[in-house]
Chains A and B, each alone.
Chain A
Amino acid sequence: MDSPTDNFDSLLDKLEEVRAVFVLSKRSMPFLEEFFGFVRDVAPLIEEIDQAIRQSSGEMPQAKSQLESVSQATELATTEILDLVDAVLEDVRAIEQRQQRAAERAAERSALDERLMARLREALDADARGTDALSDADCAALLADAETLHAERDALGEDDTEADVPDEAFAEIRQKMNRIMLSLQVQDITSQQIAGVNHLIESVRTRLTELTHRFTTGGRAPAPAPPATKDEPLTFDANARYDHEADRQQMADSLIASFGSEAAEAPSADTRADDAHTDDARASDAPTDDGPTGDGHAGGQAPDVSPEETESKAESGAASPVSQDDIDALFQ
C-alpha cells in the first residue's frame, strides 16, 4: 500500500512534467509564431504561383497549336512551290523540245538547199569547162534532181513558226510564277505566328520570374525590371493564317460592299460621317458618335462601335468573322 509520501512524490513528479511542458511551450511559442507568420505570408504567394502555373499551363496548348500551325503553313507553301516549280520546268522542257524540233527541221531544209546548190554548181562548172555536159539529157536529169530536192523540202514544210513560243505558253509560266509569289507570303504570315508564340513565352517567363523573386525575397527586395518591350504595342497578328480559303476576303468584301450601299441610301449622313471621320483622324482618342438609327448604323458610317473598342477587340483577337461580300459592299 502506497504511503501518503509516495503519492505526494508522484504528484510532484507529475507537476514537474507539466511544468516542463509549459516551459517547452513557452520556448517554442516564438518559433511557432514565426512559423505561422511565415505560412500566413507565403500562402497568398503560393496561391499566386499556383494560379500563374495554371494560367501558363493553359497558354502552353495555345503556343503549341500556333507552332503546329506554322509547321503546317510552311509545309503547305513549300509543297505548292515545289509543284509549281515542277510545272514550270515541264513547260520549259516542252518549249525546248519544240524549239529543238524546229531547229532539226530547219537543218534538214538547209541540207536539201545545199544539195540543190551543189548540184547546180556542178552543172554550171561543167558548162564553164565547155565539156558540153549540159546536154538535153543532162538538163533533164538536173531538172529532175531539182524537182526531187524541192519536193523533199516541201515535205518538210516551210513553217518556221514552230520555233516561236506561243503566247499561251508564256502566260502559263507567268501564272505559275505568280502563284509561287503568292505562296511565299507564308514567310510574313508565319513570322507573325511565331512572334505571337514568343510574346506568349516571354509573358509567362516574366510572370514566373517575378513570382519566384517575390518568393525568394519575401517581397523585401525590389522586383526585377520587366522587359523593355513589355508595354510596346503588338506588331504582329497572332491569328494570322496561311490558307487558300476565301472566307476572310469574302467577309471583308461583303462588309465593305454593305457599307457602300448604306452610304448610297443615306447621302445626307455622308457629310456627318466625313466630319466624324475627320474629327476622329485628328483627335485619335475621341470616340465616334454614330448616332442612333433603326439598325444601329448611321448611313455612310461603319457599325456602331467606337474606334478604341474595335481596335482593342482587334488587338485582343476577340472577333467574329463576316462574309467577304459584306466587306466588298462597304467599299463600293
Chain B
Amino acid sequence: MRFLVVDDSPTMRRIVCNALKEIGYSDMSEAGDGAEALSALNDQPADFLITDWNMPNMNGLELTKAVRGHDQFGEMPILMITTRGMKEDVVAAMQARVNNYVVKPFTPDVLREKIDMILQTA
C-alpha cells in the first residue's frame, strides 16, 4: 500500500509518516501542496491519499475535487487530516468526496482506525 502524504508543514508530514510506520505501513511519499501532489500522482500513482486542508497553491479540498475528477485515480481512498473542526468543514469535505476525516491533533490509533475503516469499505 503506497501512501501519498500531503501537507505544507514538513513537521506534520514527518509526524504522519511516522504514525503510518508505527501502524505498519512503510511505503510513502510526500508533497507540500495540492499542485505538487497532483504532479506526483501523475508521475507515480499512489494507493491512498492523506491530505491536509490549508495549503498554498492548491488546498486539500481542491486537491480532493481534482483527484475525484481524474480518470485514472479518481476512486483512490482519501483521508483528510486537518485542524478544521467545524460542521461546515466536514460537510464541505464530504461533498468533495473524502472517505474520512481526522481532526488534528490525532493519535496513531485514530489514524489506524480511519485507514482500516476506509479499506474495509473500499
State how many angstroms separate the Cβ of B49 from the closest Cβ of chain A.
14
Q: Taking chain A's interface residues, is the majority helix, strand, or loop, or is none over half, making it mixed?
A: helix
Q: Which residues of B contact A278 (CB under 8 A)?
A: 68-69
A240 x B104 contact (CB < 8 A):
yes
**B61–A311 CB distance below 8 A:** yes
Within 8 A of B (CB), among A285-332: 288, 301-303, 305, 307, 310-311, 313-314, 317-322, 327, 330-332
Contact of A188 among B9, B86, B88, B107 (CB under 8 A): B9
Nearest CB on A from B24, distance (A): 13
Residues of B within 8 A of A237 (CB): 53-54, 82-84
Alpha-carbon distance between A281 and B93 when the two chains are bound, in angstroms: 12
Residues of A within 8 A of B82 (CB): 237
Contacts of B12 in A (CB 8 A): 185, 188
* Chain A, range 231-247, C-beta contacts under 8 Å to B: 232-237, 239-242, 244
Q: B59-96: contact bitstring with A at CB < 8 Å (1 yes, 0 no)?
A: 10110011011000000000000111111111110111
Interface size classification for chain B: 35 or more
Contacts of A240 in B (CB 8 A): 83-84, 104
Please determine whether A331 and B101 come into contact, CB atoms closer than 8 angstroms.
Answer: yes
CA distance A310 to B18 in the complex (A): 32
| C-alpha spacing A186/B9, complex, angstroms | 12
A153 close to B (CB within 8 Å): no
Q: Which of B68, B95, B99, B104 has the most CB of A within 10 A?
A: B95
Closest A residue, CB atoms, query B92: A310
**Residue A220 lies at the interface, judged by CB distance under 8 Å to chain B:** no
**A253 and B117 alpha carbons, distance in the complex (Å):** 11
Q: Assess whether B18 is in contact with A181, with CB atoms less than 8 Å apart.
A: yes
Bitwise, B33-75 to A at CB < 8 A (1) or not (0) is 0000000000000000000011110010110011011000000
A168-B11 Cα distance, complex, nearest whole Å: 29
Chain B residues within 8 Å of A113, by CB: none
Interface bracket on A: 35 or more
Q: A182-B105, A185-B105, A185-B106 are in contact. Are A320 and B15 (CB under 8 A)?
A: no
Residue of A249, A277, A310, A317 near B102 (CB, 8 A) is A249
Contact A314 B19 (CB under 8 A): no
B84 contacts which chain A residues (CB < 8 A)? 237, 239-240, 314
Complex Cα spacing A277 to B95, Å: 7
Name the distance in Å between A306's Cβ and chain B's nearest Cβ.
9
Separation in Å of the B75 CB from the closest CB of chain A?
11
Q: Are B89's CB and A281's CB within 8 A?
A: no
Bound form: Cα–Cα A181–B108 in Å: 9
Report B64 CB to chain A, min CB distance, Å: 8
Interface presence of A211 (CB below 8 A) = no
Nearest B-chain residue to A318, judged by Cβ: B88
Note all chain A residues with C-beta closer than 8 A to B54. 192, 234-237
Contact: A248 with B96, CB < 8 Å? no
* Residues A281 and B106 in contact in the complex (CB < 8 Å), given A191-B9, A251-B85: no
Inter-subunit contact B18/A280 (CB<8 Å):
no
With the chains together, A301 CA to B106 CA distance in Å? Answer: 27
From A181, A187, A331, give the contact of B9 (CB < 8 A): A187
- Judged by a CB distance under 8 angstroms, whether A194 is at the interface is no
Closest residue of A by beta carbon distance from B58: A233
Interface residues of A in 74-132 (CB under 8 A from B): none
Q: Contact between A184 and B15 (Cβ–Cβ < 8 Å)?
A: yes
The interface residues of chain A lying within 8 Å CB-to-CB of B121 are 332
Q: Answer yes or no: B22 CB below 8 A from chain A CBs.
A: yes
The 10 closest A-B pairs by CB, nearest first: A319-B86, A248-B85, A240-B83, A281-B69, A310-B92, A322-B87, A185-B105, A281-B65, A281-B68, A313-B88
Report 5 cross-chain contacts, Cβ distance below 8 Å, ordered by A residue: A178-B108, A248-B103, A277-B95, A317-B86, A320-B86
